[in-house]
Structure 1
Amino acid sequence: MPRTRLALALAAALPAVLGARAAAAQDTTPPAKELPRVEVRDRARDDTPAKLDHLMKEVDGARITVTKKTTVTKLDQQPTVIGNNPRELLVRSPGLLVSEQQTPTQFNLSYRGIGNPQESEYTLVMQDGLPIMSDWIGFPTLYYLPLPQNVEEVQLIRGGSSLLYGPEPAPVVNFVSRRPQPGAPLSGVTENVVGSHNLVSSYNALEGTAGPWEFRADAAWMRSDGPRDNSDSRVRNADFYLGWRPDERQHWGLDLHAYRAEAGDAGRIGFPQWQANPDLTVTPANRNWVDRTSLVLSHEREFGDAWYFEGKAWTGYQDLASRSAAGFVPPQPPPTSTTLQDEQFRTTGTDLRVRHRWGRGNAFTAGTVLYHADAPFRQWTSPDLAVDRYDRSGTPRLRQQRSSDYAAVFAENVFRLPHRIHIVPSVRIEHERVAVDESVRPPFLTRPLIDTAASRTVPLFGLGIGNDFGHQNETYFNVSQGWRPLRYFDIASPFANLRPTGTLDPSKSLSWEAGVHGTPVAGLYYDASVFWIDFRNRIETQRINATDVINVNSGDTRHRGFEGELSYDFLARGDSGQHLVAFASLSLLNARFTASANLAQIGLIPAYAPRYLAKAGLTWRTDAGVKLSLTGVSVASQYWQDSNQPKGAGDAFLPAKIPQYTVWDLAGDWQPTPWLRLLGGVANLGDKRYYARVWQTGLEPADGRTWYAGAALSF
């Protein structure tokens, strides 16, 4: 029986076997051949979430930032910044020096000892990648900053910043505006705060999305009596953003920014006066006004074949007005006249960029910038020390028509090479023209009326090299050129009796930086670099006699040192929703004059070049809505003028150095319910008595201990 079953099974299987052999005989496909094994590796990206809490993306839109030293401060990770406190706003921006003043009508920043921080003239400050200086080329002063509540993050870009964005040696400080998240429902907040010096502040915002549309609108006002008589201030701010996303590949945006600030000017005082009474007021009638409006149209689009376009067109108007009379201290008699000044700036520009991703990780960017400004400058004298800012009944003292034009083309490429090496060559060609046409000169001058213009074409080059050597660590090296454009005052001083004798050479910088940064373990970020900057053809004012001054290319300076930062989240490995972050940064600087028309100047230290600038803090934040920060800034003593000499005598005496100071700030937010957030803080916690800003006319006292408290309601 078993044999019968086996025979039946074989008989049943035989046709299938024969069919398979026949098919095999007809199949002419050669047998499969095993190929050599190929292992494909891609470079570890720098754009990981942990790193992006501290630095910018390697390719950020149409900008290449890899090999450029960058720092990002995300304001959602720290308590709300209230009032006029850029020291606290920029505490996580290493090496950036804030030269403080008590009123919010101008802002003074400098970096690595390059240039006086007065009105941030040597630092390019931007909002959403566009300059917010009064006149980017002819008068690059800073009289406006966006409110911290409107800012998502602060970007600080060093080496290569001039090749990325344009004039000023370094760095770029870019404030990135808040935007509603795609698909977010309608929401709003009203935040109201009171504090020292009768501070009252109100901030209100509404945002949301509806299909392809998104919007954000805010309005704010702030008032303070200030620490001194005639140091009161009033600030009003409004912003509106409208966005349209017709599809996932493109975006249109419209931004409107309006800002108005008014503040008294209590005057600068001498060192003996500051020692006796830091709240002394010497100019009880002086006042400053700032009105600023800008409109920006932007467009982003992803095209096929890995092409991307980003374009912005903007127009703006700014009016700077001031009323200034000579200082006096009773029983001295008050001055008999005041000077009313008005400077207007009408600006327009376009910034167009493209990016093309090619190969494996390579990216090419190119673009152009066009800019024009008209900047009329007028002065009157009046016997009324409290003359209204719009009163034109006084005696004309000065009238100039000024204009500036600027154009640039630029290109960069990041090449990804084997062994995780990347190289970024850069080139930028820039052209500027500034012109001054004078119709009224000050009555104490006898020179002819000014009618002059100057133009320059400046090529800039740069090279960056980096290597990702594993575990989220990367080395970077950057060498790049930068420059400072000629200003209106550089080609013709309106208050000197000497005629312009020729066009100055623009100041240029050559910056070298090499460093390493990374996030090797959870919660840890570090960045350490050494730098060397040669700054040539410095433009300075030289006094010829009691009346006359001239602007000359006076010499070269060298700036070298170390800059590092460290941040560690002690709770990063846990899942409790809490973060305890300690951070610190240190900038060590050695700066010297290496050449000068005045041989005695060689070897001296440039003004505002402290040998160290340290910032540190500890922040505790939770997903439940608690943010508490203790932050501090420590600045070494520094000369306030390049001569390294004191100035004046008697009550007007000014020591050669600004003394060292260390200041601590405490701030906190607590959200006990989803709709309520409580705010509070103390600035200058130790009530440090110090000053950080000196000008030829005196020093400006820094504020003592101040506090604020308030609440925000959300829906």
Structure 2
Amino acid sequence: MRKKGVIVVIALSIFSVAKAQTKEKVQNADTNHLKYLPDVTVVGRNSKSDYQQMPEIVGTNIYAGKKNALIVLDNVQGNVVTNTMRQVLAKVPGIHIWESDPSGIQIGIAARGLSPNRSWEFNVRQNGYDIAADPFGYPEAYYNPQLQAVQRIEIVRGQGSLQYGPQFGGLINYILRNGNEINKPFEFETQQTVGSNGLFNSYNAIGGKKGKVHYYTFFDHRNGNGWRENSQYYTNAGYGTVTYNFSSKFSLTAEIMRSHIRSQQPGGLTDAQIKQDAQQSFRSRNWFDITWTTPALIANYQINEKTRWNTKLFGTVGDRNSVGFLQSITTRDSINATTLNYNNRVVNLDQYRNYGLESRIITDYAIGKMKNTFSGGIRLYTGTTTRQADGKGTTGTGYDVTVSGNYPRDIEFNSKNAAAFAENIFRVTDKLLIIPGIRYEWLEGSSSGRNGYTSGGAEIILQNITRSRSFVLAGVGAEFHVTKATEVYANISQAYRPIQFANLQAPPTTDVVDPDLKDAKGYNIDLGYRGKLKSFIQFDVSGFYLQYNNRVGTITPTGATYRLITNVGASTSKGFEGYVEFNPIRAFTKSKHTDVIIFGSYGYTDAKYSGDHKDANTKGKKVENAPAHIFRGGITGGYKGFLLTAQISSVGETFSDANNTVAASANGNTGLIPSYTVTDLTATYKFSKGLNLKAGINNLFDERYFTRRAGGYPGPGALPADGRTFFISVGAKL
């Protein structure tokens, strides 16, 4: 109760600071400050570029001093229909992408030597609130919004941990289309797409504004057969949002997204099988089914011209079901000669029921002649995950999660969180900004239930484990405006990754959880220079350092007969992230109808294990899934309404395990992941503001490659990426 009382006091203090602000009109502030204030939606709407820097302040959030990027989806020259992230995030340097899901359903991205597994090293949000399975105990993002429905993507590295909590990777926030640019009672939008391997996508939306009410709703359907055998899928997503403006200062928004996805999982392959035929599959009975509902209620109040308040009530109601034959790819899934049927499949079911509240306030105040900005907020969260696993499924081939008997594992995980943060922009001079911040976290995670049966049929009851802890994170950032359009930025910020549910799920017959098991903690450092030179060069170059301490792993202590789940060591990632975009037409001519944009982004990462437990042996080895070199570049040429983009994506080799195994294992689970280079072409023609035609070829030269090896689902084995595919799309607004 004492900790919750602290948070209430902090919240009241934040509100008191805001209320104490006088109602004086904003005095003439320096032009540098005003330059960064426009709302980000305006930035995205008026620019032809798909890449922008975030303003200093957006809503109640501070982005000054932080490494960040804004991707405007309307301007992306790429295949957003199948969520092709190497094209969407091409201008964000250093982003490592797993391309193991040909349907684009599962997005896996990371940076700075972290794992891309369902983006779980990022704090993944939609419209500013959580959408992962459980941000604290199980942060995998099984659901990601269809990118045709996304207006923009906000990415914040490093210091984002102070405003949003975990993880080390920072924040990725998908802002959905809400039709806020519509100023008439009714508008209809549609985008219809067909492509290779039976691809069909239909996006349809209506929206409007009348009086004090604004609304927007869409339905998106996609289906296809996939590039590989046994890869059919479909997705259905519906979204609705209604905003009521009680006054010019106060509005209330209610929104809900519901997504249902079902996909066939073709399984992994060995390296030899990929060389023979990367499209082949030896698993025809594996299925994945996800239903995700994310309701939210959002209040915005402009208290006065200096102070804004935002509160979100949100929930995640998710179901993740899988059924399949999950043994090594070297074991055939064939008809049993005795029963004349297939062997029984394994069924796993997860349910996620999460609810939260976040309330934030931001206000301007003066110290002398300089206007400063304070932002603070609180967070309350509770989540319950119910896991039923290893059920004896049917011998059938279609999607069927019927089981015979009990689930051997029947576990409930619970997580609770209360947090408060505060950040402040101190404008020391017209050019220099200092941005310190602090975050208080209280966390609790627990697990209970059955973890299986003994050979004699007795229940194995899960160890009764509860972890409750609290701590403070701190950081500081800075900006120095070298010119009106360029700035040096720097920050150092602590971060953490909570103990995962999997670390509390120790089979008591074989594993022991270290009673001193701690959350992974560390810090990010950024130092960079970014901005624009006149109207034809945009750039952001920086160095980074990421220290990741208390990594959790499993070891066998010397002389012991059990495995210990404990903190096994640390890793250090350091490197360079650079992006530059050049427009020679603007530089050398005055043409208003022709455009040429040349861009390149490059990330260098040196990620190594820097320390270990006395019974671990990773010290000095490279971190797995951390390619040293990632380059993406391209050129866009346009005349009037026509744009053509050629893009190249080149990713260096990486290890798939912490032991740095080079030779591929017989089952494809471990071994080096080779480097690869992929080329894409995309063209767009806008007949008018309301009518467009898009087409593209992904993997133009039909490169054979893979980005991931899986030891379990959805493998096991190496998971090939798609070969050459195409799409064509037509859209209209009425």
**Normalised TM-score (structure 2):** 0.87
Out of 436-445 and 285-294, give the one that drifted further.
436-445
Name the structure 1 match of 2:655.
639
- CA change 1:600–1:358 in 2 (3 A) is same
Secondary structure of the structure 1 residue equivalent to 2:404 = coil
Name the structure 1 match of 2:623.
606
Q: Give the distance between the partners of 1:645 and 1:123, measured in 2 at CA.
A: 27
Name the structure 1 match of 2:597.
581
Name the structure 2 match of 1:453.
466
Out of 436-445 and 686-695, give the one that drifted further.
436-445
Q: Give the distance between the partners of 2:446 and 2:652, measured in 1 at CA.
A: 40
* Contact residue 496 and residue 549 of structure 1 kept, 8 A: no
Name the structure 2 match of 1:229.
229
Name the structure 1 match of 2:6.
none
Q: Give the distance between the partners of 2:461 and 2:118, measured in 1 at CA.
A: 30
Name the structure 1 match of 2:308.
308
1:466 aligns with 2:479: yes
Q: Give the distance between the partners of 1:661 and 1:710, measured in 2 at CA.
A: 28
State the Cα deviation string for residues 672-698 of structure 1 (Å, max 9, x = none).
255532221111111111001112231
Task: State, as a whole percentage, how many aligned pairs show the same letter.
Answer: 23
Shift of 1:589: 1.1
Shift of 1:699: 0.7
Alignment of 1:415-564 (within 5 A): 415-418=426-429, 420-439=431-450, 441-443=452-454, 447-493=460-506, 497-542=510-555, 550-564=564-578
Q: Give the distance between the partners of 1:41 and 1:714, measured in 2 at CA.
A: 41
Name the structure 2 match of 1:126.
125
Shift of 1:440: 5.2
Question: Aligned-pair RMSD on alpha carbons?
Answer: 2.6
* Contact residue 297 and residue 313 of structure 1 kept, 8 A: yes
* Contact residue 322 and residue 342 of structure 1 kept, 8 A: yes
Q: Give the distance between the partners of 1:510 and 1:649, measured in 2 at CA.
A: 35
Q: Give the distance between the partners of 1:281 and 1:646, measured in 2 at CA.
A: 24
Secondary structure of the structure 2 residue equivalent to 1:76 = helix
Q: Give the distance between the partners of 2:561 and 2:228, measured in 1 at CA.
A: 32
State the Cα deviation string for residues 128-163 of structure 1 (Å, max 9, x = none).
111211111111001111111211111111120110
Alignment of 1:274-423 (within 5 A): 274-304=274-304, 306-325=306-325, 326=327, 327=329, 336-359=343-366, 360-379=370-389, 380-386=391-397, 389-418=400-429, 420-423=431-434
Secondary structure of the structure 1 residue equivalent to 2:239 = strand
Shift of 1:443: 4.8
Secondary structure of the structure 2 residue equivalent to 1:374 = strand
Out of 459-468 and 276-285, give the one that drifted further.
276-285
Secondary structure of the structure 2 residue equivalent to 1:680 = strand
Shift of 1:500: 3.1
Out of 666-675 and 544-553, give the one that drifted further.
544-553
- CA change 1:155–1:579 in 2 (3 A) is farther
* Contact residue 648 and residue 677 of structure 2 kept, 8 A: yes
- CA change 1:181–1:119 in 2 (3 A) is closer
- CA change 1:383–1:82 in 2 (3 A) is closer
* Contact residue 220 and residue 236 of structure 2 kept, 8 A: yes
* Contact residue 192 and residue 731 of structure 2 kept, 8 A: yes
Shift of 1:74: 1.2
Shift of 1:641: 0.8
Out of 48-57 and 479-488, give the one that drifted further.
48-57
Shift of 1:298: 0.5
Shift of 1:489: 0.7
Q: Give the distance between the partners of 1:456 and 1:275, measured in 2 at CA.
A: 50
Name the structure 2 match of 1:10.
none
Q: Give the distance between the partners of 2:648 and 2:261, measured in 1 at CA.
A: 28
State the Cα deviation string for residues 95-150 of structure 1 (Å, max 9, x = none).
11111112444322111102x22222212211111121111111100111111121
- CA change 1:550–1:290 in 2 (3 A) is farther
Q: Give the distance between the partners of 1:52 and 1:280, measured in 2 at CA.
A: 36
Shift of 1:543: 6.5
- CA change 1:56–1:385 in 2 (3 A) is same
- CA change 1:686–1:361 in 2 (3 A) is farther
The one-letter code matched in structure 1 to 2:58 is D
Number of matched residues?
674
Shift of 1:386: 3.6
The one-letter code matched in structure 1 to 2:60 is A
Picking from 60, 63, 68, the partner of 1:62 is 60
* Contact residue 585 and residue 596 of structure 2 kept, 8 A: yes
- CA change 1:591–1:247 in 2 (3 A) is same
The one-letter code matched in structure 1 to 2:380 is L
Q: Give the distance between the partners of 2:371 and 2:629, measured in 1 at CA.
A: 39
Q: Unpaired segments of 5 or more residues in structure 1?
A: 1-38
Q: Give the distance between the partners of 2:81 and 2:415, measured in 1 at CA.
A: 36
The one-letter code matched in structure 2 to 1:393 is S
Alignment of 1:145-164 (within 5 A): 145-164=144-163
Picking from 693, 699, 704, the partner of 2:718 is 699
Q: Give the distance between the partners of 2:398 and 2:518, measured in 1 at CA.
A: 40
State the Cα deviation string for residues 557-611 of structure 1 (Å, max 9, x = none).
1111111111123344646255322221111111111101256421110001111
Q: Give the distance between the partners of 1:261 and 1:218, measured in 2 at CA.
A: 16
Out of 241-250 and 694-703, give the one that drifted further.
241-250
Shift of 1:267: 0.8
Q: Give the distance between the partners of 1:578 and 1:358, measured in 2 at CA.
A: 45
* Contact residue 78 and residue 628 of structure 1 kept, 8 A: no
- CA change 1:196–1:309 in 2 (3 A) is same
Alignment of 1:168-207 (within 5 A): 168-181=167-180, 184-185=183-184, 186-207=186-207
- CA change 1:400–1:300 in 2 (3 A) is same
Q: Unpaired segments of 5 or more residues in structure 2?
A: 1-27, 337-341
* Contact residue 428 and residue 461 of structure 1 kept, 8 A: yes
- CA change 1:494–1:704 in 2 (3 A) is farther
Secondary structure of the structure 2 residue equivalent to 1:247 = coil
The one-letter code matched in structure 2 to 1:679 is K
Secondary structure of the structure 2 residue equivalent to 1:275 = helix
State the Cα deviation string for residues 526-548 of structure 1 (Å, max 9, x = none).
11111111110111234689997
* Contact residue 282 and residue 329 of structure 1 kept, 8 A: no
Alignment of 1:89-108 (within 5 A): 89-101=88-100, 102-108=102-108
Q: Give the distance between the partners of 1:548 and 1:450, measured in 2 at CA.
A: 15
Q: Give the distance between the partners of 2:508 and 2:238, measured in 1 at CA.
A: 37
Q: Give the distance between the partners of 1:595 and 1:710, measured in 2 at CA.
A: 51
**Normalised TM-score (structure 1):** 0.89
- CA change 1:243–1:552 in 2 (3 A) is same
* Contact residue 193 and residue 200 of structure 2 kept, 8 A: yes
Q: Give the distance between the partners of 2:507 and 2:223, measured in 1 at CA.
A: 35
- CA change 1:626–1:242 in 2 (3 A) is farther
Shift of 1:58: 0.3
Q: Give the distance between the partners of 2:294 and 2:103, measured in 1 at CA.
A: 23
Secondary structure of the structure 1 residue equivalent to 2:533 = coil
Shift of 1:90: 2.0
Picking from 584, 590, 608, the partner of 1:570 is 584
* Contact residue 393 and residue 403 of structure 2 kept, 8 A: no
Name the structure 2 match of 1:671.
686
The one-letter code matched in structure 2 to 1:692 is T
- CA change 1:602–1:46 in 2 (3 A) is farther
State the Cα deviation string for residues 273-301 of structure 1 (Å, max 9, x = none).
21222122122101100000111111111
* Contact residue 46 and residue 58 of structure 1 kept, 8 A: no
Q: Give the distance between the partners of 2:30 and 2:450, measured in 1 at CA.
A: 69
* Contact residue 478 and residue 490 of structure 2 kept, 8 A: yes
Q: Give the distance between the partners of 2:66 and 2:393, measured in 1 at CA.
A: 51
Secondary structure of the structure 2 residue equivalent to 1:88 = helix
